[in-house]
Structure 1
Amino acid sequence: MTAVLWGSAFPAIGVALRAYSPTAIAMLRIGIAILLLLPCLLRGRIRALRLQDTTRMAAFGLAGMTAYQLLLYAGEQSVDAGTAALLVSTSPVFVALLGIFLLGERPGARGVAGLAVALCGALLIAVTTGHSGGTLAGAGLVIMAAAAQAASFILQKPLLARYSGTECTFYGSLFGVVLLLPFLPSAVSQAATADWHRTAAVIWLGVGCTVLAFWSWSRTLSATTAATSSLVLYGVPVAALVINTALTRTAPAHTAVLGGILVLAGVAITATRNAQPQLPRPSDRVAPRSNLHDTLPRGEGDSAVTGRTNE
């Protein structure tokens, strides 16, 4: 579900960029997400944010909502949707690297080999983009977007021990929209003159690619380690390529696709290090985490028995 929803974002962005600026798309996308989640807040399904979590939640929102979107939209102005999806598929590489330094996760020799293969694939895609109508600068912006996305996953991981995916999406959107508020008048004026299908693409980005996708992604991320859960992202470029080809009858260059295959192969090599299921240690089974488990939606509080590493 996460892969298909996020995969659909790339062609939708390409459609929206014909009538909206990157800042306008980001402003409207996050604004739509906030409006959709307001009923959850009014009904008490979104709890108050703890003061000690404010800094991390703000960083998550700025990285995953603001920086990621602005960098991706700016890059996709000169990079086609399929190639952009292949470049963003390097996000698990950055997740693994950040997980090593910030979460103490250890990829092992196989994981390191997988990261190296994936990085070679990303370089091939970037070089191909510079010789096939796109620009190296645009490819660089998309890769930076992948890094920003990875940082947001690392920041969100500890928060999911205390907050549901809906709460993370709501508060992350609130912090993420702050820097975009000056662009609200421009976004409204662009919406007034845009064709209906361009506006429909922006609405889908807010509904399907933000609210629904972050909900499904948060449930995945809460159930395992940041590096392992990021492996679901290798399905995103596949979904993006299929959807984009069906809508536009265009596909990335063959060498870009080869680079994408290398990226996915590298991620797959890294994934095999977690092939053996891990049983919870006796101490994990005896000591309950907290009563918060009972307050989360079913599935979001069960990460203690899914083989994730203790933090």
Structure 2
Amino acid sequence: MNWVQLAEEVLEGKLLSNDEALAILHASDDELLLLMQGAFTIRKHYYGKKVKLNMIMNAKSGYCPENCGYCSQSSISTAPIEKYPFITKEEILAGAKQAFENQIGTFCIVASGRGPTRKDVNVVSEAVQEIKEKYGLKVCACLGLLKDEQADQLKTAGVDRYNHNLNTSEKHHDYITTSHTYQDRVNTVEIAKQHGMSPCSGAIIGMRETKQDVVEIAYALHALDADSIPVNFLNAIDGTKLEGTKELDPRYCLKVLALFRYINPTKEIRIAGGREINLGSLQPLGMYAANSIFVGDYLTTEGQEENADYALIRDLGFEIEVNEKQAALQA
């Protein structure tokens, strides 16, 4: 397969066939650099060498009634994690200040649970209004299954983006969780879209799915027209259903990132959870397909030191994308 030629066809509007998509995941390691060159051809066309930074604020930890097999916060998990109820507006604002100072472009307010309460939505809404005024950050909320009136309130408050990951293919979904359906997840993304929030939805790779499942989730996100696609690589936490699962290697993770770029050429591809342990020393190569990363810690697991992420971007010759207020602060 001529990967660069295929990338050029994608830029002309081609949607990969299923066989072409699978060929990316089955590509020989000897072809890896050529595959990444093709992915970078697409990435550079739409995003140049800009990198978007994201930071997660874990607004509520644990106490989740869902039975997701990958999650340390689920009802079936015995992982020894810190648990706390929804944090205050002041704590959210303190996180946003840190994000602003660290050149973060998107501040992500994330909470465990099936869906938010009225009080949760009120706290987020009040905090977001101040965040927009003080820091000009793009705000992404990830609060679980969403109702119309909640989506309307969040959008009115200034939430730019709503995240709800599909996580895996529809046919593999019941292996991961049975306390909600795949369609429940699709519906929440659609509700966010209907109320004017940018849809963010992604996948978790390495949950004992097949390569065909990976291809199907990439196509599903294309069909959903998600603006931002976080690609997580499973960090199998002791005490979860997927404890001990270790299916990934850095080269395969790069092929997955390339696949998502080829199938979703215009979208923000974000390397998300599990980046550090699964890509390892090949993390820089991931940026030739992705144009966005998370900086700092995740929900219940640690990321690498922030300085290492900034050095990675600098050493690649890439540039962090900042907002007007951040640019003025640097001037």
Length-normalised TM-score, structure 1: 0.29
Higher relative contact order (CA 8 A, sep 6+): 1
Higher helix proportion (structure 1 or 2): 1
Length-normalised TM-score, structure 2: 0.28
